[in-house]
Amino acid sequence: MSQKAIIFDLDGVIVDTAKFHFLAWKKLANDLGFDFTKEQNEELKGVSRVDSLKKILNWGNKELSEEEFNRQMQLKNENYLSYVNEMDKGEVLPGVQKVLDYLEENNIPYALGSASKNARHILEKIDLKDGFSAIVDGTDVSKAKPDPEVFLIAAEKLNVAPQKCIVFEDSVAGVQAANKGEMTSIGIGEEKTLQEADYIFNDFTEISIEFLKNLLQK
């Protein structure tokens, strides 16, 4: 059982930071004179900071100089962090702690595989940093999801074969990355969005310990 390991995405899986990303990107767009919808925001999930800004500017038909692009990215991140800095353990999504407790009680290693450069800071805010055997985030990778790099580095750090890793992901790009890495993918969110995942749940409250046990024993 111990040869298997779990890799968690962070945003949208452990915490609902998507709402803060949305507010911060929306302010940026509004300051530049345009807007985008919640539906469009779905397309930003799992997407790196640089690629998110490129997409948003495309929606608003805006072009920025390199200097202004970098300045806007920094402003967005400062705004985003003003929300993150208010976070505490209460922000951990329902059902997540139960799964982490089970993994710890059974000595099953787990890692983080996130696109965010703020991941370590967020884990500290919600007091979960110490439980992770490995943390791989946006500062450790050169290729963004759907490339499997982030998860493959996590598997290597865990010293577990990719085929033995189970990935929890809320984004399409993340599910694709897990699949490309030959890992078992568990989508957290809507079935119509995450159909490429091996298993799909609306949230962690729907995941039973029985299900986890079976998956880890397979």
| Binding at 125: pick from Mg ion, ligand BG6, none (beta carbon under 5-8 Å per type) | none
Tell me if 169 is assigned to a ligand binding site: yes
**Binding to ligand BG6, residues 134-163 (CB under 6 A):** 138
Alpha carbons 102 and 92: distance in angstroms, whole number: 16
Q: With CB under 6 A as the contact rule, which of the stretches 38-46, 92-100, 154-162, 176-184 interacts with ligand BG6?
A: 38-46
Is 72 among the residues that bind ligand BG6 (CB under 6 A)?
Answer: no
User: What are the structure tokens assigned to 13, written together?
Assistant: 């899986």
Residue type at 183?
A: M
Nearer to Mg ion, 175 or 216 (CB): 175
Out of 6, 11, 36, 173, which residue is the one contacting Mg ion (CB under 5 A)? 11
Alpha carbons 62 and 66: distance in angstroms, whole number: 13
Tell me if 48 is assigned to a ligand binding site: yes
Which among 15, 170, 13, 168 has a CA at the least distance from the CA of 88?
Answer: 15
Nearer to Mg ion, 108 or 177 (CB): 177
Is 137 among the residues that bind Mg ion (CB under 5 A)?
Answer: no
Residue 40 C-beta-side C-alpha neighbours within 13 Å: 16
Out of 6, 56, 87, 116, which residue is the one contacting ligand BG6 (CB under 6 A)? 116
Element (H, E) at 186: strand 184-188
| Binding at 184: pick from ligand BG6, Mg ion, none (beta carbon under 5-8 Å per type) | none
* Residue recorded with tokens 């985008």: 36
User: What are the structure tokens assigned to 196, written together?
Assistant: 């490429």
Out of 46, 146, 187, 189, which residue is the one contacting ligand BG6 (CB under 6 A)? 46
Helix 49-59 to helix 66-84 angle (10° resolution) is 110
Alpha carbons 203 and 43: distance in angstroms, whole number: 19
Out of 4, 26, 45, 157, which residue is the one contacting ligand BG6 (CB under 6 A)? 45
Is 17 among the residues that bind Mg ion (CB under 5 A)?
Answer: no
Tell me if 25 is assigned to a ligand binding site: yes
Alpha carbons 108 and 131: distance in angstroms, whole number: 11
11 catalytic residue (yes or no): yes
Is 115 among the residues that bind ligand BG6 (CB under 6 A)?
Answer: yes
Query: Under a CB-based contact definition with an 8 Å cutoff, are residues 45 and 12 in contact?
Result: yes
Is 123 among the residues that bind ligand BG6 (CB under 6 A)?
Answer: no
Query: Annotated active-site positions, please?
Result: 9, 11
Q: Which residues are annotated as a binding site?
A: 9-11, 25, 44-49, 52, 76, 114-118, 145, 169-170
